[in-house]
């Protein structure tokens, strides 16, 4: 059983970015990561796209009218925003700032455009790209999902080609062949980043702090 690795040293919160083409299994893996690490906050993005069946406002997205989105953008309330598949998406800035200050990790489910904007503003953010096992499997997953029309699927596949070309700008990649193995890979990345000396500082590591004081 995969278990959460508790943070043992005081540190600033880390921004984790997860990007993937539609149909790569990102939502399933995010739900799995939040079960492994219940202390991680999930950033809820704003969007102007229509709400799908089963989606809850404030949990899956903050569903806004285009005028509301434009007003927030004008006030500088988004850390990043982009137009995707004909709709606007944006990441509220305030939760990111709070998480960093509180030492609480936050996970962002955003696309390639948004990831680039976040990395410019938060260079210490950790970016992860999720890949499907094959192109054929990606097409199959989109068709089986049953939430998109044929034209929408075609557009998403075209966007997927462009997004995958941007993978070299990411810090890590994970191939989602099997959910348990992909979850284990994501868990390893989070645990490793939490243990970076540069994120903690030598004076905040309890054993090292005691050793330095006694020397």
The 10s digit of each residue's pLDDT in 38-81 is 999 999 999 999 998 889 999 889 999 999 999 999 999 999 99
CA 89 from centroid of its chain's CA atoms: 14
Q: Name the β-bridge partners of 106.
A: 15, 41
Task: State the CB neighbour count (10 A cutoff) for residue 41.
Answer: 18
How many domains does the structure of the chain reveal? 1
Which span out of 2-16, 35-49, 141-155, 197-211 was modeled with the highest average pLDDT?
Answer: 35-49
Quick check: is 42 in a domain?
yes
Residue 208 forms part of a structural domain:
no
For residue 43, give its domain range: 15-196
Q: Which residues are 127's β-sheet partners? A: 17
49: domain CATH number is 3.40.50.300
187 Cβ contact list (under 8 Å, min separation 6): 2, 5, 33, 36, 37
64 lies in some domain: yes
The CA-based dihedral angle spanning residues 102, 107, 110, 114, taken in that order and rounded to the nearest 10 degrees: 30
Q: Is residue 48 part of a domain?
A: yes
pLDDT tens per residue, range 158-209: 777 778 888 899 999 999 999 999 999 999 999 999 988 877 765 466 665 5
């Amino acid at each position: 059983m995969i278990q959460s690795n508790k943070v043992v040293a005081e540190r600033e919160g880390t921004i984790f970015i997860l990007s993937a083409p539609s149909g790569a299994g990102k939502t399933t893996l995010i739900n799995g990561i939040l079960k492994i690490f219940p202390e991680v906050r999930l950033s809820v993005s704003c969007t102007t796209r229509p709400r799908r069946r089963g989606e809850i406002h404030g949990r899956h997205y903050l569903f806004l009218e285009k005028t509301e989105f434009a007003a927030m953008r004008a006030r500088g309330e988004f850390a990043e925003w982009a137009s995707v598949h004909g709709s606007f998406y944006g990441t509220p800035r305030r939760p990111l700032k709070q998480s960093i200050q509180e030492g609480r990790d936050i996970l962002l489910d955003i696309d390639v455009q948004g990831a680039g904007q976040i990395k410019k503003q938060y260079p210490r953010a950790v970016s992860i790209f999720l890949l499907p096992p094959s192109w054929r499997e990606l097409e199959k997953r989109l068709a089986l999902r049953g939430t998109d029309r044929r034209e929408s699927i075609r557009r998403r596949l075209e966007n997927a080609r462009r997004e995958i070309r941007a993978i070299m700008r990411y810090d890590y990649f994970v191939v989602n062949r099997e959910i348990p193995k992909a979850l284990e890979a994501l868990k390893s990345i989070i645990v490793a980043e939490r243990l970076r000396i540069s994120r903690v500082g030598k004076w905040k590591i309890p054993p090292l702090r005691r050793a330095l004081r006694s020397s």
